[in-house]
Amino acid sequence: MSDPILSEYWQYNFPPFFTIQPNLETRKAQLEAWSSLVLNYCKNHRIHKIDLKKALTEPPFQNVSISRGLNMDGLMIIFDDMKDKGVADWSDKSKSVVFIYWNTPEAWANLIYHWVYNSGYINSVCTLYEIVSGDETIKEPFHGLDFDVLKKSLQVLEKQGKASIMSLDDNGGVKFLG
């Protein structure tokens, strides 16, 4: 059974799509298509970070139906381009894991703070676990958010003076400010 997100991209069944093209104009269009595909795929599957070694063997970077897949150099080019566009970020200098921002940390921060405000949690402390896995956030778009992306989002709120991040046991927590 094919993934409906992948079937939206005609390029996904076009073998040259899996080889980074040398012509600059063609490459630009190819990278735009890859960026769109990756963002939509990750949003649909609620993926917030990708391990590059694992990605080489899985959709969307591997299309078994046409026996094609990206190589590591291709992945690096795609994710560097996405980083330049502000929709991805490397987890560290080794570039082995990439964060995918189908919502930016700023957008997540806004969604979280909106929930905090509407739920009456201003001047309250919440654990990070409560925010992304608690019963009160089940219907929120940030429920299930990757902890690293959550921390980046809370740092945005901290810079805005809307939160104070603290350590609570192993989990960590945040006090939301009005």
Q: What percent of the chain has pLDDT over 70?
A: 98
pTM comes to 0.88
**How far is it, in rounded angstroms, from Cα 24 to Cα 170?**
48
Q: Are 20 and 27 in contact (CB under 8 A)?
A: yes
**How far is it, in rounded angstroms, from Cα 103 to Cα 134?**
20
Question: Directed axis angle between helix 72-84 and helix 24-45, to 10°?
Answer: 80
- Which amino acid does the sequence have at 76? M
More confident residue, 172 or 16: 16
Domains of the chain: 4-100 (1.10.10.570), 105-176 (1.10.10.10)
pLDDT tens per residue, range 116-156: 999 999 999 999 999 999 999 999 999 999 999 999 999 99
